[in-house]
Amino acid sequence: MSAKPPTSLDVAREAGVSQATVSYVLNNREDARVSDETRARVKEAANRLGYVPHAGARTLRTGHSRLVLVPLVNIPYGPLAVGLMEELDSELGRLGYTMIQYGARRLKGVAAARAWAELRPVAVLAPAERLTRQAVDVLHSAGIKAVIGIGVAGWPSEIVSTMTMDHEGIGATAAEHILARGSHTLTAIVPAEKGLRDMGLRRAAGVQRVAAAHRVPYNQVDLAFSESATAAWLDAWQAADTTGHARTKHGVFTYNDDYAMLLMAVLADNGISVPGDVAVVGCDDLPLAKLLRPRLTTVRLDVTSAPAMLAQTLDEIVRTGGTGQRLLALWPHALVERDST
């Protein structure tokens, strides 16, 4: 168990072939002319000795690996993000890449790039916010062929190709629906939670744009995820409600479904009717959306096509060496209408 691990030379001796042949066979090089009989003998010898190729050695030899490094993002991972990662993993696997997720969330810029580069991946899919020009230079200098930014906060990177989300469009879609269902005011909740705030501001900007276009009052609420904060805001909001109409209906876009659940619980505790007094729209279409009473109207992000697209683009950049920046995609979204509006 503590004996020295077998090398490809040991396999070569065991199989009675050259070390190069072992390498050809075990790395599935199809350009090499090796008979089926020899292939079988090499594989058998490798199995017997417990030898597996060394990804690091292969990297040194070929100049690059098939590893795709995905540094983890410093935001709370929801079920949506986890599902996306799983899909991306299989799509990259189909194209012959191995995706590894990597933490070290504390590192930024060049320090982060150095840590990523040490693993000599062939590609890096990193949060656009962590990619400075210097960092990208470090990655390319280390032989990494493709660097793609993931625009968490919704801004395309000015340095590399970015895949991002149309946060403003999400807010606007929710707001248009709220107005169509008869609300006289628009409110956007922006999570106080670090890591969500930037996205929240973008979504709120979309709500504000629609409010301005329709000339209805607009509020932005910075809200911590707690019942007491929500109750305090509700008190203040009711005190400040000077619209005068007895039957003014308010519309709130809650950033996501979790905040919608929070708001609806506090509204119910205060005897405020949803959707009679307040219309509520969430985002994500989590399983809980259908379990709320009234059932939650929400914005659903269609992420089904994103992983395959991302994997193909990455492969294209690796093969062609394409650089420069472009916007890869704005994931489509759609309103799921239920009973809270």
Residues that bind a copy of itself (CB under 8 A): 1-2, 4-6, 49-57, 59-60, 63, 65, 72, 76-79, 82, 85-86, 89-90, 93, 98-106, 114-115, 117-120, 137-138, 140-143, 225, 227, 258, 261-262, 265, 268-269, 287-288, 290-293, 321, 323
Nearer to a copy of itself, 142 or 205 (CB): 142
Residue 156 DSSP one-character state = P
**In the complex, what is the shortest distance from the CB of residue 332 to a copy of itself, in angstroms, rounded to a whole number?**
24
Nearer to a copy of itself, 92 or 186 (CB): 92
Nearer to a copy of itself, 23 or 59 (CB): 59
**In the complex, what is the shortest distance from the CB of residue 158 to a copy of itself, in angstroms, rounded to a whole number?**
17
- Give residues with Cβ within 8 angstroms of 272, minimum separation 6: 234, 278
**In the complex, what is the shortest distance from the CB of residue 160 to a copy of itself, in angstroms, rounded to a whole number?**
12
What percentage of the chain's residues is helix, strand, coil (to nearest 5)? 45, 20, 35
Structure-block tokens of residue 326: 């472009």
Nearer to a copy of itself, 5 or 276 (CB): 5
* CA separation, residue 50 to residues 5, 98, 166 (Å): 8, 22, 50
- Does residue 305 come out as left (phi exceeding 0), alpha (psi in the -120 to 50 range) or beta? alpha
Nearer to a copy of itself, 51 or 331 (CB): 51
State the burial class of residue 16 (Cβ atoms within 10 Å of its Cβ: 0-12, 13-18, 19+). Answer: exposed
**In the complex, what is the shortest distance from the CB of residue 142 to a copy of itself, in angstroms, rounded to a whole number?**
5
**In the complex, what is the shortest distance from the CB of residue 164 to a copy of itself, in angstroms, rounded to a whole number?**
22
Residue 282 and residue 259 in contact, taking contact as beta carbons nearer than 8 Å: yes
Structure-block tokens of residue 324: 């420069």
Nearer to a copy of itself, 10 or 168 (CB): 10
Closest to 51 measured CA to CA, from 90, 88, 4, 96: 4
**In the complex, what is the shortest distance from the CB of residue 340 to a copy of itself, in angstroms, rounded to a whole number?**
14
What's the distance, CA 226 to chain centroid? 25
